[in-house]
Amino acid sequence: MADAQQLQDKLDAVQPVLDTLKSMFGSPQDADFTITCGDRKWPMNKAIVCAQSPVIKAAMRGDFKEAKDGIYPCKDKEPSVVEAKLHYMYHFDYSEEGSVNGEESTPPSIVFDVQVHMAADYYQVPSLAKLAASKFGKRAQEEWALEGFAQAAALIYEEAGDKDHQLRDTVNSVAAKHAKELIKEDSGAHLRKMADEMPALGSALWQGSLEQYTGEQCKCSSCPWVLDLASVKGISAPCCPRYSRGYSVTVWLANKVS
């Protein structure tokens, strides 16, 4: 009980500092440099931003143009992602709605979480990356049947890079958990479409579904040959030996032998 009270006392003591930090976000009076993205500008504080992002810190030092001009231009495609990143540095959280000002249309929140995670990874803000991954994981568990999950999965496999195993692992585990629904039912139509267009995503969906279908068999859509699913682990598009043609997971499982 005493330890809990001591912790609460410490939190109460630091709260005024946190409140002051939040009030400084976007305040021209307190700023000593500017971050831009497209037409958007944010007055920022080097002591706060550079302490959290080694990438921005390096650019704002020495003889770099950014340091001389006092302006750091973000190369992110979406100003709303930049806003979320900067908002986090002062509030230790970000809005899932994207743009605070509502000036721009934003993607589904689950896709926005992926975009924020990618930005945090690029600017080396690990605590933000961890938060975005956590938010994405929670949404994925609830929104796996929605189009947003399929869009997020495609973005992860297309742009996040091979090193970003955390988000990929989340996609794979959620897809495996709901494999039977995603493979054949209407709820998985969006993800199946993305998987057919992206071999890497399709392969992951296939491998994840195997555990759900171990011991079952599927018939080739072009001939009577039957595939034993237990024999194709590690193969992204199993081939029919008669036609030497590989088929995606959705094609094989559409012809599952009852």
pLDDT for 101 equals 47
Q: Which fold has domain 14-143?
A: Potassium Channel Kv1.1; Chain A (3.30.710)
Q: pLDDT tens, 119-129?
A: 999 999 999 99
Q: What is the mean pLDDT of residues 202-209?
A: 68
Measure the CA–CA gap between 72 and 13, rounded to whole angstroms.
34
pLDDT band for position 100 (cuts 50, 70, 90): very low
Measure the CA–CA gap between 258 and 255, rounded to whole angstroms.
9
Nearest Cα to Cα of residue 109 among 76, 147, 72, 71: 147
Q: What is the mean pLDDT of residues 238-250?
A: 69
Measure the CA–CA gap between 84 and 100, rounded to whole angstroms.
8
Angle at 231 between CA 230 and CA 232, to 5 degrees: 100
Asked if the model's pLDDT at residue 80 lies above 90, the reply is: yes
Judge whether 162 and 203 are in contact, CB under 8 Å. no
Q: Is 170 helix (H, G, I), strand (E, B) or coil?
A: helix
Domain boundaries, the chain: 14-143
pLDDT for 35 equals 97
pLDDT for 245 equals 67
Measure the CA–CA gap between 257 and 147, rounded to whole angstroms.
29
Q: What is the mean pLDDT of residues 24-28?
A: 91
Measure the CA–CA gap between 72 and 206, rounded to whole angstroms.
43
Query: Which residues have C-beta within 8 Å of that of residue 42, sequence separation ≥ 6?
Result: 26, 34, 35, 36, 82, 83, 86
Measure the CA–CA gap between 86 and 129, rounded to whole angstroms.
13
Q: What is the mean pLDDT of residues 209-226?
A: 71
Q: Which residue has the tokens 């939040």?
A: 22
Judge whether 40 and 73 are in contact, CB under 8 Å. no
Going along 108-246, which residue ranges are E strands? Answer: 217-219, 226-228, 239-240, 245-246
Average pLDDT, the chain: 83
Measure the CA–CA gap between 151 and 214, rounded to whole angstroms.
28
CA atoms within 13 A on the CB side of 214: 6
